[in-house]
Chains A and B, each alone.
Chain A
């Protein structure tokens, strides 16, 4: 294949993948009243308008809360599980692996509906708690997988050496294992954060009066708004996710772990 051919194919593919975002970014910069591309004049007023929408503040806070603490909770139970599956010869390891991975396989909308009908309603659980639990479960498979692959790269005899040299098992874990898989844990956190923050289908049914995640709130905002602020909102959200990943990549080189 010639150089030209290669760049032509890549050019077309990347235009298809990324072009739409560039259009959204510019459509949001319109100075006119209607959503259009190319925009009628340039202005940032629609970007400013997004920040005045009151409900976004609450839903943004909720989404941040879920993304941060849901992921932390997933790591809290996921790291020990990954460690056990990697280092111990436990009975039913395959079953445990399958159970923990299940949330990736079951379509999100089914998860949301099932939890609403058979968890929230019968047990009278607050929607916020249900969302927290759901997001934790959805992030858990990623946490286990990324931390596992990180543990795979760490030789088990290092901990054994620490134990032989007088550490307790716990000390060996906190002093030897944890510092060495720090990168993997951070990578899992970021992957979990982005997954949770962008999650829609499972959260669709899990909304109550005044309680909605940001993407769900955006969906309903899009339905009642037809000025360019919707484009501005989409662009801002895209920027945010990309910025988080970009910073993480720069700081940690996290793509090595995924």
Chain B
């Protein structure tokens, strides 16, 4: 009796996976705020296109590794990712250039978001500021240098060097020490000297939210996109405005090469960039808009990275610099910090 049953089961598994490829779009996104995204974007999109979205989540590195592993026969059709990760995928020839004519909202985007990597390899869909989230009942943060100060020793977490936030933190610590962002060797050494004071190096913003809500950590640098997770907590979290200013970055949309699902992917991208969705996503306090036409209330704006003035004030690290130096940073980090 077992034989027919297991053949049946195997058959079912095989057909299930091949049927799923029809009328479905597989996208790869960051793991935070998935419930909110479902409401603001995924559900309305599925209804509109009559197709099915399959969502893969994870941090950028994990998701990049998967895109690379499956390059010959892409599983992921479209992904949202940091600008430097997008650049590294583009350099490896894993992406296809986008056609702005197929994106009706293209002209409404901030100029910086329209073609951030050159060659139309990506289009920005959100800007974010990065600063320090902290427990205002326990500490006060005036400068990025406070992260390595005695006041936070034993209660601070830093982003891992391999993630997107890691290099931004290096840049701001370097700036606080009087550097000009050209060389982070000294900054990494300084972190190494304080390694025992650092609880852990987090690799996803959701992991940090977890650590801070469990009161393992009372201050850490993080991107503004994760702010809603802290704001909704019963604990008193605040967003620092350090003397050196805030760091910042942009996340972009990309299309994998030869995925064969371009039409649906463009549809989703265009919908995601539309004033309607960008406003909805902004009002849910998830991602700040890259679409200039989005108008939100002051209250909402306060929780986001909103408006040309703020966006222009951010300290941005050039994606090409990150790619050129990351291996050296990781080597030094592994030797001096994770001893």
> Which residues on the A side are within 8 Å of B214 (C-beta)?
35, 226
One digit per residue, 1 when the CB lies within 8 angstroms of any chain A CB and 0 when it does not, for chain B 290-312 equals 00000000000000000000000
The answer to whether B206 touches A223 (Cβ under 8 A) is: yes
Contacts of B339 in A (CB 8 A): none
Is the C-beta of B328 less than 8 angstroms from some C-beta in chain A?
no
Chain A residues within an 8 Å CB radius of B16:
128
Residue from the list B5, B6, B57 in contact with A220, Cβ < 8 A: B57
Which residues 212-241 of A have a CB within 8 angstroms of B? 220, 222-226
The minimal Cβ–Cβ distance linking A139 to chain B, given in whole angstroms, is 12
Q: Does A126 contact B (CB under 8 A)?
A: yes
Q: Is B209 an interface residue (CB 8 A)?
A: yes
- CB-based contact A72/B206 at 8 Å: no
Size band of the A side of the interface? 20 to 34
Indicate if the CB atoms of B210 and A223 lie closer than 8 Å.
yes
- Chain B positions 54-112 with a Cβ under 8 Å from a chain A Cβ: 54-57, 69-70, 72-73, 75-76
Report the bound CA distance from A123 to B192 in whole Å.
44
Do A129 and B70 have beta carbons less than 8 Å apart? no
- Asked if A91 lies at the interface with its beta carbon under 8 angstroms from chain B, I say no
Give Cα A116–Cα B130 distance, bound, in whole angstroms.
36
Set of chain B residues within 8 Å of A220, measured between Cβ atoms: 31, 57
Closest CB in chain B relative to A94 CB, distance in Å: 28
Asked if B118 is at the interface (CB within 8 A of a chain A CB), the reply is no
**A173 at interface by CB-CB < 8 Å:** no
A224 touches B17 (CB 8 A): no
How many chain B residues sit at the interface, stated as a range, is: 35 or more
Q: Does A2 contact B (CB under 8 A)?
A: no
> Are A223 and B207 within 8 A (Cβ)?
yes
Measured between alpha carbons, how far is A222 from B210 in the docked complex, in Å? 9
Q: Is A26 among interface residues, defined by CB-CB distance under 8 A?
A: no
A75 touches B207 (CB 8 A): no
Contacts of A224 in B (CB 8 A): 31-32, 34, 206, 209-210
Question: Is B213 located at the chain interface by the 8 A CB criterion?
Answer: yes
- Residues of B within 8 Å of A129, CB to CB, are 10, 13-14, 17
Task: Tell me which residues from 47 to 91 in chain A have a Cβ below 8 Å from any Cβ of chain B.
Answer: 65, 69, 72-73, 75-76
The reply to whether A33 and B234 form a contact with Cβ atoms under 8 Å apart is yes
- Please report the C-alpha to C-alpha distance between residue A226 and residue B31 in the assembled complex, in whole angstroms: 15
Contact assessment for B210 and A209 in the assembled complex, using a CB-CB cutoff below 8 Å: no
Contact of A226 among B9, B18, B34, B210 (CB under 8 A): B210
Q: Answer yes or no: B182 CB below 8 A from chain A CBs.
A: no
Given known contacts A129-B10, A220-B31, A209 and B26 CB-to-CB distance under 8 angstroms: yes
Among A65, A69, A209, the residue within 8 A (CB) of B56 is A209
A–B Cβ pairs within 8 angstroms, 18 of them: A33-B234, A34-B234, A65-B13, A69-B9, A73-B10, A126-B14, A127-B17, A128-B17, A209-B26, A209-B54, A210-B54, A210-B55, A220-B31, A220-B57, A222-B210, A224-B206, A224-B209, A225-B210
Top 5 A-B pairs ranked by shortest CB distance?
A: A126-B17, A209-B56, A69-B9, A224-B206, A226-B213
Interface residues, chain B, with chain A CB atoms under 8 Å away: 2-3, 5-6, 9-10, 13-14, 16-18, 20, 26, 28, 31-32, 34, 54-57, 69-70, 72-73, 75-76, 204, 206-207, 209-210, 213-214, 234
